[in-house]
Structure 1
Amino acid sequence: MTVLTSIRARLPSRNWSIFWGLTSSLSGAACYDKYQLGQVRAELDQATAALRNEICKPTDTPRRIRVYVAPTHWGRYWFKEYVKPVFDAAALDYEILEPKVAGQVRDSVRELLWTGKDEHRARAASGHKYSPFTPPTPILERDKFDAGEGLVAVGPNAWREVLRGVSEGCLAERPPAPPPTPESTPSTTDAATDDPAAAKTAKADHLPPPPPLDLSCHNIPTFPLPPLGFITARQQAGWTGFPSRIYHWFTERYTAREVGYEALAIALGRVRPFNIQTDPARGAKDIYVHDDWEQRHKDVVQDVQVPGSVADRLYMYQ
């Protein structure tokens, strides 16, 4: 009895046992997840070794893509943590475009396709004849549109805007620029007191909505369209996303594997035909709309119906 009493006196109390048991369990789960996360990143790094070790000619340039990140903190976080390491390890050149409000991704993609149409018409109108000694364009100039530069969307909102921009850019032509409107000259007092940024925002809010586009299958360009890519990014802000954030602390390895292999498919450059049934709905369960958005911003991220004439010419990274 003396020995048992001595051992019992040395054991922690019930409350301390619960505390240390819970703390050690959570710490062990977090450490195990970090270890597995390192294994996943090492696996992805090994998968991209062939790309970064490939010997290029002096005239070759790295493959380039355009990445549209959803205008949220979580879109930036997912790209930095899970997508950027894969692109960097694969020696892939990319340009990041992060809009401030909904609708800017759609406008950027649409403008890119309209620029491609203008460059294609200018090239055809120039009547340039092939010569091995004369390049078709000046050496120091580069076309703004390149069909080899894929369009990658990070997040479901950006993905729907990319699809909407591709559809409108193919089926419509760039509308003519509106005539300049006379502006009243502000007084010196107003200029000194008003905030320039606030004045610019107020001016943009009072602009009339643009006229509807004339969509027609006859406007579809004859040149190839850039391949498209989708990368998962979930919005986890607010009280509704707090449980998923807690779960994410101990299961980050699953997210890194899911998103990392989506980025790896884009880095490898393998494509497949666009599936008009399933591809437009990718990430539909993760779509988010803020209550304080204007109606025109909410309409941009609604369901997208890609016309068959456009979908037949699209390709997806796989």
Structure 2
Amino acid sequence: MNTEPQKSGIRSALEYTGIPKSWLSKRPKLPSRNWLIFLTVTSSLTGLFIYDRQQCKKIRQEYIDKVKHLSEETPDHLSYPRKVTVYGSKWPGDEDHDQSMRYFRKYVKPILVAAAVDYEMVNGKRHGDIATRIADEVKKQRRLDLGLDSPPERSGMPPQYTWRTKEQLRQQELDGGIVIVGRPTWKEFMTGLKNGWTEPLDVVDHEEELSRELEADGRFDEPDEPMEVASVSPAQMHNSQFYASLQAKPSLPPLPLPSPSPTMDVPATITALPPILLVSFVDYVGIKLVPNMIWDWMNRRHHVRVGAEAGYRLVMANTRPINPPATKPLFSDITNPPTPETDLDFDKSMEGYFKSSLQSIPSDIERTRKKYYEQLPAKLVIARELARNVREPTSDEVKYPPPTEVELRAERMTKEKRWRKDLKGWEIVKPSQEVSWDPRFENALTVFVDPPKETESKEEPSVNDTSSS
């Protein structure tokens, strides 16, 4: 009895196409154990990734729809859009100084663009750049207000152009805002603000001061013992005197003592500043934080929501006074009472992600400085010998000329500026350093907050009406 199953028409037709019969008779079966594990893991991760990116688009579009009606309004042709200033400093331990600005552009900027809010980004490439910039801007404005400096000339426009008054410019500045990305930026901003309103207004050339200080330490002084010149010819002696006159640096006159002036007085009050938007930000650096990086990459929707909410707070312009630090009660160092969190504690928990090796920054700089000054005398000897024709240059020195004394002085100046600036910047952003505060800031600083619920409920119908029309 023939037990062979009856062939279907399709199978019979496929047999004549040259396909092996074993392929046609093969029945599907479950993959092996390893293949099941692989397919399950990859499909799960792919599904999570796709879901996360879909939620990112959905959340961003939700907040864009809430504010886009503001950009569709027809303002007066003489009006100016709101403009905010965005500050982002370098994250400690990360050589990419643009991480904070990249975070702003990716998560906060779309909401501002949808609401037609202009912005200016200020990025600190090294620690302390933001603090120095803020302090200089505050001092410059103080000098203008006191009449010590004249305002810049207004030129380049037609005669019939109407310039805005000082009050109008001030009002536009207050209508804008200040965006602070991350706790290191918050520390630098407050330090620069305090220095600008506390330090004197005398114009000081810091590079000139540093140059005089380095000149006085005797690192480039000539040795006391006379140089052996018995084998030097008269022509070489003439050339050596000529080059020595070129290499010699003229003595600098002493710095004049600052004369007492009313600009040394610290103002009792501070003018109001634009409202501040605090944007939480963390940058995972180091191999220990690789799991956090992976989790962060698979959950970008949380960053999108945080950035969209921050941008929405700025657009809606609801503010409150800054929450100042509470005064410590008597014997607080003994009783250790719990202190309530204030705006100065913004993102304080993120400092726990700093690399532990950052604590050795001062010692590393001191070690590098010590090594540099140990090698400097030998470089000076070579530079002076070649400049004064005491000896002929070697073949390596002909191919790769060593630095001259002038170049060594410039190199030392550059290194000292960088070392001192890095030390000063680290003292500002290190975890043990608190955010700078001045009691005068209490009445001058405000912070953006979430709008009340009734405002959001009123805005949503208008958005729906606009979309339906």
TM-score of the aligned structures, taking structure 1 as reference length: 0.75
**Contact kept in structure 2, 1:150 and 1:229, CA below 8 Å:** yes
Is 1:108 the counterpart of 2:129? The answer is: no
SS across alignment from 1:106: helix
Residue type at the aligned position of 2:200: E
Deviations, residues 139-180 of structure 1 (Å, cap 9, x unaligned): 289899744442211111011111112222223333332495
Measure, in 1, the Cα distance between the counterparts of 2:99 and 2:66. Answer: 26
* Gap change, CA 1:281 and 1:35, over 3 Å in 2: same
User: 1:279 corresponds to which residue?
Assistant: 343
The equivalences for 1:37-116 within 5 A come to 37-71=56-90, 72-116=97-141
User: 2:427 corresponds to which residue?
Assistant: 299
Deviations, residues 271-299 of structure 1 (Å, cap 9, x unaligned): 11000141111011123474547432211
* Gap change, CA 1:48 and 1:220, over 3 Å in 2: farther
* Matching residue within 196, 202, 224 for 1:169: 196
Is 1:314 the counterpart of 2:414? The answer is: no
* Matching residue within 136, 139, 160 for 2:163: 139
Shift of 1:258: 1.3
Q: More helix by proportion, 1 or 2?
A: 2
Identity of aligned residues (%): 24
Shift of 1:125: 10
Is 1:242 the counterpart of 2:299? The answer is: no
TM-score of the aligned structures, taking structure 2 as reference length: 0.53
The equivalences for 1:118-197 within 5 A come to 118-122=143-147, 139=163, 146-178=173-205, 180=208
SS across alignment from 2:178: strand
Residue type at the aligned position of 1:54: E
* Gap change, CA 1:8 and 1:312, over 3 Å in 2: farther
Shift of 1:265: 0.9
Is 1:253 the counterpart of 2:283? The answer is: no
Shift of 1:219: 1.6
Measure, in 1, the Cα distance between the counterparts of 2:200 and 2:26. Answer: 85
* Gap change, CA 1:108 and 1:142, over 3 Å in 2: farther
* Structure 2 unmatched runs, 5+: 1-24, 91-96, 152-160, 216-242, 244-263, 326-341, 363-421, 450-469
**Contact kept in structure 1, 2:180 and 2:186, CA below 8 Å:** yes
Deviations, residues 247-275 of structure 1 (Å, cap 9, x unaligned): 11221111110122112212222211000
**Contact kept in structure 1, 2:107 and 2:307, CA below 8 Å:** yes
**Contact kept in structure 2, 1:156 and 1:284, CA below 8 Å:** yes
If you compute each CA radius of gyration, which structure gives the higher value, 1 or 2?
Answer: 2
Residue type at the aligned position of 1:271: T
**Contact kept in structure 2, 1:231 and 1:262, CA below 8 Å:** yes
Measure, in 1, the Cα distance between the counterparts of 2:125 and 2:270. Answer: 32
Residue type at the aligned position of 2:271: F
* Structure 1 unmatched runs, 5+: 1-5, 127-136, 190-215
* Gap change, CA 1:9 and 1:49, over 3 Å in 2: closer
Residue type at the aligned position of 1:237: V
Measure, in 1, the Cα distance between the counterparts of 2:133 and 2:68. Answer: 33
Measure, in 2, the Cα distance between the counterparts of 1:273 and 1:7. Answer: 76
* Gap change, CA 1:217 and 1:280, over 3 Å in 2: farther
Measure, in 2, the Cα distance between the counterparts of 1:227 and 1:170. Answer: 18
Residue type at the aligned position of 1:163: M
Residue type at the aligned position of 1:245: M
The RMSD of aligned alpha carbons is 3.5
Measure, in 1, the Cα distance between the counterparts of 2:265 and 2:302. Answer: 42
Measure, in 1, the Cα distance between the counterparts of 2:279 and 2:191. Answer: 17
Measure, in 2, the Cα distance between the counterparts of 1:7 and 1:156. Answer: 64
The equivalences for 1:8-23 within 5 A come to 10-23=29-42
Residue type at the aligned position of 1:246: I
Q: How many residues align?
A: 275
Residue type at the aligned position of 1:161: E
SS across alignment from 1:275: coil
Measure, in 1, the Cα distance between the counterparts of 2:75 and 2:51. Answer: 40
